[in-house]
Chains A and B, each alone.
Chain A
């Protein structure tokens, strides 16, 4: 095509500028902020070196936060990715029947509801007096609990809610990955006499391993970006027992006006998520997903 040299760049400029100004610059500035003590309502800022980092890692809440994010991550990997993939395999099995697409769509429905709406719904479901959970338990004469109000249980209640919301999403992704596998492979395996379990383990899973890896990565990244679910249910309470990185960042910045600490938390999230994201982009770019 004969065009002026500058033409292609004219098409690219608006998008590149947007990304640089509103994505890259804030992330770089966040690194800088992490070395300063600063507040949102005053212009003054003092360079404090690694002091924010020291405060972050020695904060009494830090071990709780790390434990909660890790718990969320591990349980989500087991249930969303593990169990979600098993459900996908079952849905794709020969004996699943004609309603398999309906099931798949039903399992996916909760992922369409906003995190805040799900969070608020579950505050009602977990509510000790009128809530769905305790009333059901009472009906079967089982012991009830205070759930989100229980300092030991709160984080598990939030995690359970997320499994309810997102397992179907992973199932959907895996179902599509399995459907993209050429039927030739599956038929060949059948001719060789492979049973359904053998087919799943040696044909379906290996051939969909890139998608599986992407599911694992987005689940881990999601676990360390966790924020809205906790904000909408417990706000990190009781005490700080359900505190997580994302909410801690928010509270440091906009509740305690300690932007330096918030920035350090941001750097910590960055370090965990950026490597995983790059791996994910690489897999996705290879075109195998």
Chain B
């Protein structure tokens, strides 16, 4: 027993050591985001003399609010469209036993194997050709398209598990297929909608490759690309840049702390990185 409790203490020391590795760089960033620039240059390891909340105000007013607004707009439209289009597609695939649905499923699923990099250059040309390059639609449409395969994949396996009896009762009540979808399938599928929303939000909110190429206009840029522009604009104002980084990182972290259960379920339902 003695040996076991020593092991337990050692193991917890190890876990705490790992927590320190995670936290130290973050704490350093946060502390320095509250300093003046001369203070940062003098010694970056000390606590701030006076906490400069003004850095956060400066960062926010320097354009971060604009990038935030853009990110919220792009993410929410993409997210809603991803969920609607994918759930309709998954519904069509699973509840009708229609001819060709296996082939359609394989085609859609195959989209998961294709990476954004491979499509980058042609997409750029296509977006220019249809005159939506450098508009919100230039990132929203590719985001939706690239997230459909994965979302359909998750929703399909959920829809399959819904008992057919529920629908049969609804048919007797005179529901048509769209009413069944709206009034029966969607309400019982809330957990999978939540999981899909979270995984996709994590992707869309942080996406950089497409945003960097398809959004040139500063007024349209989302946070990840805005941060790069922001850093250029604030070249010498290091502490305000740090404050900006902190603000930009908060939303998803807060969301995670509030809904870690749904996060974990969503992320493990389908492991995809980057």
Contact = CB atoms under 8 A, between A and B. Distances in A.
Q: What secondary structure prevails in chain B residues at the interface with A?
A: helix
Contacts of B223: 114
Contact of A15 (B89, B113, B248): B89
Interface of A is mostly: helix
Contacts of B122: 25-27, 29-30, 33, 263
A270 B118 contact: yes
Contacts of B108: 15-16, 19
Interface string B92-130: 110110100100100111011111111111111110100
A168 interface: yes
Contacts of B120: 26, 249-250, 253, 262, 266
A97 B11 contact: yes
B96 A1 contact: yes
A287 to B, nearest CB: 8
A273 B113 contact: yes
Interface residues of A, number: 104
Nearest to B37: A130
Interface in A243-271: 245-246, 249-250, 253-254, 259, 262-263, 265-267, 269-270
Most A CB atoms within 10 A — which of B122, B180, B208? B122
A2 B174 CA distance: 11
Contacts of B41: 129-130
A132 B273 contact: no
A191 interface: no
Interface stretch (A148-156, A182-190, A199-207, A227-235): A227-235
Contacts of A173: 267-268, 271
Given A115-B208, A281-B109, A22 B141 contact: yes
Contacts of A232: 228
A-B pairs with lowest CB-CB distance, top 3? A11-B92, A22-B145, A15-B89
9 contacts: A12-B89, A22-B126, A24-B107, A27-B118, A95-B8, A112-B202, A120-B227, A253-B121, A277-B114
